[in-house]
Amino acid sequence: MAMETFDVAAIRKDFPILEREVRGNPLVYLDTAASAQKPRAVLEAIQNFYQNGYANIHRGVYQLSAEATALYEGGRDDVQRFIGANDRREIVFVRNATEAINLVAHTWAEQNLEAGDEIVITALEHHANIVPWQMLGERRGTKLRVAPIDENGDVVVESFEALLGERTRLLALTHVSNAIGTLTPLKKLIDIAKARGITVLVDGAQAVPHTPVDVVALGCDFYVFSGHKLFGPTGIGVLYGRLPLLNAMPPFMGGGDMIETVSFERTTYAEAPQRFEAGTPDIAGVVGLSAAIRYVEGIGLKAIEAWEQTLLTYATRVLGGMDGLRIIGNARRKVGVVSFVLEGIHAHDVGTALDQTGIAVRVGHHCAQPLMEFFGVPATVRASFSLYNTPAEIDALAAALGETQELFS
């Protein structure tokens, strides 16, 4: 898609925060990989719910409760459609992708894995898809194995395949690297695993805002993501799981609304998804996530993906042509993320300098310390692009980086 065919100016008007200034400069927000800004449609949906329609859901016999329940369960339908699930009951609402992974680790994995069984991840993973499996190993004696990447940040498929053995029970891998933007060959890796009868969990937190997802076509067993990276509110996330697996899994937490019957002697549990949604949920979060999904669908993920690829290509050319700047991660397929270091300047100093000109980037290890160690850097500066970013903002970033280099020379 050519730049002029995507009406980014109109889209930017949907995001009120982009009208503000930071330190006397227009805000240039290049940190969507950490959390996306919110369009007016999401803000208004949440406000309208709290202002005009708030009530607790399920079991209420009065109109407000019925309306709130319809909004909440309608959000489940929106997620089902958005990721191509077969059944609305396969959509479980949680706080975020991290909670979803931990839920699977404490239920399905506890129930199905034993000492000596292996879990395979990749070298690209966020800590949220590393630490829960290490903790499981401490509890159950399972082993964690890591599929390598090459110097560009691509998964080495042959080495990945060789890593799968008789004791491999779970493949838990990212769809998109949060730190360097690698878009993994997910379908190929899943097919390899499924041919060996291996269960597959996908961390899709960085994928769903950038590229269409169809969990049935992918063939994964679990898929997780967070609402706040998809232009929705914080505190709401999604676990997709194939229904037979969910209904065979024990509850993660006990409480109200996840039960069938309760007595002092014995409790029986509801079927999925209710058995995993104990207590009063983040109703407004679901309302906001639902509005975010409809907003994205209104623009079209393919159009968003094409625009972001245009920005990525431009940023890679502009930043990659700067003396003293090294881009970390040059995978064959990437989303709109450019992670880099400036020679002789710590990433945190770069981020602080950029902030003085109103440019917001993420600096640090990006919750991917093993990946930083692989590339031999303590931290990077990460500029991440979204549907509301422009080539002019990339030019502003490059100019500010040049000034930063002069400042530290």
H helices within 280-387, ranges in order?
283-299, 301-320, 347-355, 369-375
Q: Is 367 a catalytic residue?
A: yes
What is d(CA 296, CA 11) in angstroms, rounded to the nearest whole number?
11
What is d(CA 82, CA 298) in angstroms, rounded to the nearest whole number?
12
- Under DSSP, the state recorded for 270 is P
Q: Which amino acid is residue 217, in one-letter code?
A: A
Q: Which of 367, 369, 370, 398 is catalytic?
A: 367
Q: Which residues does 204 contact at the CB level (< 8 Å), separation at least 6?
A: 83, 97, 175, 176, 213, 223, 224, 225
Judged on CB neighbours under 10 Å (0-12, 13-18, 19+), 186 is buried
What is d(CA 28, CA 275) in angstroms, rounded to the nearest whole number?
43
CA geometry: angle at 140 spanning 134 and 146, to 5°? Answer: 35
Residue with tokens 């959509």: 91
Active-site residue set: 367
